[in-house]
Amino acid sequence: MSAYIIVESNVIDAEKLAQYSQQAAKTITASHGEFIAKGKATLLTGESQTANGAIIRFENKEAAQAWYLSESYQALIPLRDQAMNCTFKLVDGL
């Protein structure tokens, strides 16, 4: 069963975001994950403090968690935190 990481974010530094995004994408691919959506988000209901979103699909929950906790991704978190304010949520697929 697929699992999804939902990212909600606001950009702090576009240059650092470009660096982070390029490096993070490589770690996702290496973990057999794939972006299925990425970009400006349109709020349909409720309230949100973020303008952007991304959805990353993995084979299962364990693969998603393994990617997030991997040494290669964890090393990017300081750059990520300089590039954007964000939340990451793991959602199990159906």
The parent domain of residue 12 ranges over: 3-92
Q: Are 62 and 15 in contact (CB under 8 A)?
A: no
What mean pLDDT comes out for the span 76-81? 98
Report the domain count for the chain: 1
Q: What is the pLDDT of residues 11-57, one digit of tens each?
A: 999 999 999 999 999 999 999 999 999 999 999 999 999 999 999 99
**Confidence grade of residue 93 (pLDDT, cut at 50, 70, 90):** confident
Helix (H, G, I), strand (E, B) or coil at 61: helix
DSSP-assigned letter for residue 59: S
For position 53, which CATH number holds? Answer: 3.30.70.100
- Whole-angstrom distance, CA of residue 61 vs CA of residue 79: 25
Beta-bridge mates of residue 38 = 54
% of residues, the chain, pLDDT over 90: 98
pTM (two decimals): 0.94
Cα–Cα distance for residue pair 28/35, rounded to 1 Å: 8
CB atoms closer than 10 angstroms to residue 51: 14
